[in-house]
């Protein structure tokens, strides 16, 4: 018996002028799966999220969520349908408190009201380690809690598919590990996760499968260490600094 994928991209193509960021790309994510996406800067990773979340429409191809075509469905309706996303550059309501930021998502995304919305928002703050700063305005947060809040806002919408776009970017090593612990817990709860990340070791710790996007194509897809050991993937990352955490040949092979 085959299960309906949580997410399916069916022959997606997208170009900006002469730059092709997706070329007849087909990809499925199963319910509860954690998929990592790596690829060089400008490969089209965030654009892929924009097409999944509904901010951009593919030139051709279709997006399916749990067996339902959502290609032309606007972002707010996709949020209600179960897609929660973070943005590469955090986008909280700066003047609202951390709690209020998540409460807005509980109202608008998860369609919760009153006490149920408040309880959901508090629960999300606890799961993301933000309960202690619940009453702090988002604009006053340091980077780690700001990244946590980005995840919390996505969770506030009650997603079954969580899209994380470089939530570990710019964090110190101990902070990355704190964030990894949060994402691992979410995955353990059964949430489907797609995580774009340049901090590769964070992905290795978290995801069961990885793809590498480059030039509009999936150049490798499979078990994370195998993908990172792939010759084409290594060539794409040659010259990248050690902060990418790309494992050495001996680890990957």
Ligand X SMILES: Nc1ncnc2c1ncn2[C@@H]1O[C@H](COP(=O)(O)OP(=O)(O)OP(=O)(O)O)[C@@H](O)[C@H]1O
Q: Which does 97 bind (CB under 5 to 8 A by kind): ligand X, Mg ion, none?
A: none
Least distance between ligand X and beta carbon 215 (Å)? 11
Pairing of strands 7-16, 19-29: antiparallel
Residue 11 CA to residue 46 CA, distance in Å, equals 17
Is residue 10 within 8 Å of residue 28, measured between CB atoms? no
List 4, 11, 19, 68, residue binding ligand X (CB under 6 A): 19
Is residue 139 within 8 Å of residue 191, measured between CB atoms? no
Q: Which residues are CB-neighbours of 188 under 8 A, at least 6 positions away?
A: none
The mark string for 215-244 relative to ligand X (x by CB under 6 A, - otherwise) is ------------------------------
Nearest residue (CB) to Mg ion, 46 versus 206? 46
Least distance between ligand X and beta carbon 21 (Å)? 5
Residue 208 CA to residue 220 CA, distance in Å, equals 14
The mark string for 51-70 relative to Mg ion (x by CB under 5 A, - otherwise) is --------------------
Query: Considering only 40-48, 52-60, 98-106, 127-135, which stretch makes contact with Mg ion by CB under 5 A?
Result: 40-48
Least distance between Mg ion and beta carbon 163 (Å)? 11
Q: Is 39 in the site for ligand X (CB under 6 A)?
A: yes
List 8, 46, 52, 202, residue binding Mg ion (CB under 5 A): 46
10 Å Cβ neighbour count for 28?
Answer: 14
| Token couple for 73 | 């469905």
List 1, 41, 115, 135, residue binding ligand X (CB under 6 A): 41
Residue 104 CA from chain centroid, whole number: 20
216 sits in the region (left: phi over 0; alpha: psi -120 to 50; else beta) called: left
Residue ranges in 86-115 that form contacts with Mg ion under rule CB under 5 A: 88
Residue ranges in 74-113 that form contacts with ligand X under rule CB under 6 A: 88
Is residue 241 within 8 Å of residue 41, measured between CB atoms? no
- State the DSSP code for 230: -
Nearest residue (CB) to Mg ion, 213 versus 229? 213
Q: Is 16 in the site for ligand X (CB under 6 A)?
A: yes
| φ, ψ of residue 90 in degrees (nearest 5) | -50, 140
Nearest residue (CB) to ligand X, 47 versus 101? 47
10 Å Cβ neighbour count for 61?
Answer: 18
10 Å Cβ neighbour count for 20?
Answer: 16
Q: Is 199 in the site for ligand X (CB under 6 A)?
A: no
Nearest residue (CB) to ligand X, 3 versus 41? 41
Q: Which does 143 bind (CB under 5 to 8 A by kind): Mg ion, ligand X, none?
A: none
Binding site for ligand X (CB under 6 A): 16, 19, 21, 39, 41-47, 88
């Amino acid at each position: 018996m085959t299960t309906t994928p949580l997410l399916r991209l069916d022959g997606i193509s997208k170009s900006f002028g002469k730059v092709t960021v997706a070329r007849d790309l087909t990809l499925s994510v199963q319910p509860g799966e954690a998929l990592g996406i790596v690829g060089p800067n400008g490969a089209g990773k965030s654009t892929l999220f924009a097409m999944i979340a509904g901010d951009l429409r593919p030139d051709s191809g279709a997006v399916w969520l749990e067996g339902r075509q959502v290609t032309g469905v606007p972002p707010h309706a996709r949020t209600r349908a179960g897609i929660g996303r973070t943005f590469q550059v955090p986008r909280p309501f700066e003047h609202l408190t951390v709690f209020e930021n998540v409460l807005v998502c509980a109202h608008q995304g998860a369609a919760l009201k009153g006490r149920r919305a408040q309880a959901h928002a508090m629960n999300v703050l606890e799961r993301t380690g933000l309960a202690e700063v619940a009453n702090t305005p988002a604009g006053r947060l340091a980077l780690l809690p700001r990244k946590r809040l980005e995840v919390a806002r996505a969770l506030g919408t009650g997603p079954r598919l969580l899209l994380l776009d470089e939530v570990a970017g710019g964090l110190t090593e101990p902070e990355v590990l704190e964030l990894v612990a949060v994402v691992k817990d979410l995955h353990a709860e059964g949430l489907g996760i797609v995580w774009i990340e340049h901090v590769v070791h964070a992905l290795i710790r978290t995801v069961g499968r990885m793809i590498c996007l480059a030039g509009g194509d999936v150049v490798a897809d499979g078990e994370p260490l195998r993908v990172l050991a792939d010759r084409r993937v290594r060539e794409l990352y040659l010259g990248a600094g050690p902060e990418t955490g790309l494992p050495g040949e001996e680890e990957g092979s």
